[in-house]
Amino acid sequence: MVRLETRRLIVRHGRMADVASITRYARENQEFLAPWEPLRHETWFTEDYWRMRLALDVQEYYQDQSLRLLLIPRQSPGEVAGVANFTNVLRGSFQACHLGYALAARYVGQGLMTEALGAALDFVFREMRLHRVMAAHLPENERSAAVLRRLGFQKEGLARDYLLIGGRWRDHVLNSKLAPDWRPGPGEAFLVSPCGNAVSPECPSDAGDLSGPGSRVF
Ligand SMILES: CC(C)(COP(=O)(O)OP(=O)(O)OC[C@H]1O[C@@H](n2cnc3c(N)ncnc32)[C@H](O)[C@@H]1OP(=O)(O)O)[C@@H](O)C(=O)NCCC(=O)NCCS
């Protein structure tokens, strides 16, 4: 399980002991988050849902599919201040994922999301060995745009009808951040093989060696 420390936060996988606090976070911030998120089914606000979700988060991480983290304030460890979700991890010649994030209303304006994502991005680039993290925001979501700017994301364009937010297809600004100096490490050479990931008689050793961290089996 992942656990990162920053000056004011513990940024980590959720545990069963967090079920009550993450459910409280979801309920208390329902109205605040609604303009920026998909419609949430009523089950989203129940402990049963979060018990299942937190268990799945760990499972998905070990299957190399996602890294979903809770932001826990050091000064208030029984509370969830926000979430940061790196999802849709794709390997092969892409080595990329999507990023989504949100804070509880009462924690906005303190620099906590920038602090948390700084540590999480470092982990995702260094330990998970991803090359690209992609994040999208509604054009009017200036706070979200500012977070990404501070973290060194670059704007890549506007995608029409990109995400179903509040029940409506909405245009989004696309951004991404690349790993500072990604070079294939030992066992990752297959990524730059002329044969791609395909097993072929011409490059059996490249295609066969899938043991590098970029294609981790946990
Ligand atoms: C997007 C969101 C996470 C941004 O939150 P945020 O608090 O503005 O972002 P940060 O945590 O990086 O904090 C930056 C702010 O804290 C301030 N700040 C205060 N103390 C600080 C400190 N010690 N260090 C750094 N910044 C500090 C900064 O000046 C800045 O405020 P300003 O923009 O008013 O100048 C939040 O608005 C949110 O959850 N919105 C709803 C969900 C959402 O939109 N998610 C993203 C969908 S794309």
Residues 6+ apart with CB under 8 A from 79: 21, 24, 25, 72, 73, 104
d(CA 77, CA 168): 36
Residues 6+ apart with CB under 8 A from 137: 144, 145, 148, 172, 173, 175
Atom of ligand 1 nearest to the CA of 147: 12
Q: State residue 190's pLDDT score.
A: 63
Residue with CA nearest ligand 1 atom 13:
111
List, for the chain, all residue ranges whose pLDDT scores fall below the cut of 70.
189-218
Q: State residue 214's pLDDT score.
A: 43
29 lines ligand 1 (CB under 6 A): no
Q: How do residues 98-123 score in pLDDT, each as one tens digit?
A: 999 999 999 999 999 999 999 999 99
Closest CA to 128 of 185, 208, 59: 185
Its pTM surpasses 0.75? yes
Cα-trace Rg, the chain: 18
141 lines ligand 1 (CB under 6 A): yes
Report CA-CA distances (Å) from 144 to 64, 124, 137, 197: 26, 20, 7, 36
Q: State residue 189's pLDDT score.
A: 63
